[in-house]
Amino acid sequence: MPLHGERPRRGATGHGLLLVNLAVALFGVAGVLGEVSALPSPLVVLGRAGFASLALFGMVRLGRRSLHVRREDVPLVLGLGVLLACHWTVFFYSIAVSNVAIGLLLVSTFPLFTALFEPLILGVTPSRVQIVAALVTMAGVYVLVPSFDLASATTQGVLWGLLSAALFALLTVLNRKVGRRYGSQVISLYQNGVATLAMLPVLLVISPAPLFEWRALLIVLALGVFCTAIAHTLFIAGLQHMTAQLASLLVSLESVWGIVFGAMLLGETPTARTLVGGAIIVGSTMLPVLYARRPRADQPAG
Instruction: Please compute the mean of the pLDDT values over residues 106-114 and round it to a whole number.
Output: 84
d(CA 26, CA 96): 19
Concatenated DSSP letters for 32-100?
A: HHHHHHT--HHHHHHHHHHHHHHHHHHHHHHTT------GGGHHHHHHHHHHHHHHHHHHHHHHHHS-H
**What is the C-alpha to C-alpha distance for residues 264 and 211, in angstroms, rounded to an integer?**
24
The mean pLDDT of 262-274, rounded to a whole number, is 87
Instruction: Fill in the DSSP letter of residue 230.
Output: I
- The pLDDT of residue 237 is 78
Average pLDDT rounded to a whole number, residues 165-171: 90
Distance CA 149, CA 135 (A): 22
* pTM for the structure as a whole: 0.85
Asked whether residue 12 carries a pLDDT value surpassing 60, the answer given is no
Residue 129: is its pLDDT beyond 70? yes
Spatial separation of the C-alpha atoms in residues 131 and 15, rounded to whole Å: 34
pLDDT higher for 242 or 97? 97
Cβ–Cβ < 8 Å for 265, 36: yes
Residue type at position 238:
G
Looking at residue 235, what is its pLDDT? Answer: 83
Residue 126: left (phi > 0), alpha (psi -120 to 50), or beta? beta
Give the DSSP letter of residue 124: P
Instruction: Compute the mean pLDDT over every residue in the chain, rounded to the nearest whole number.
Output: 84
Of 230 and 174, more confident: 230
Please tell me the distance from the alpha carbon of residue 223 to that of residue 220, in angstroms, as a whole number.
Answer: 5
Cα–Cα distance for residue pair 131/153, rounded to 1 Å: 29
The total of other beta-carbon atoms located within 10 Å of residue 246's CB is: 20
Task: Answer with the residue of higher pLDDT: 296 or 100.
Answer: 100
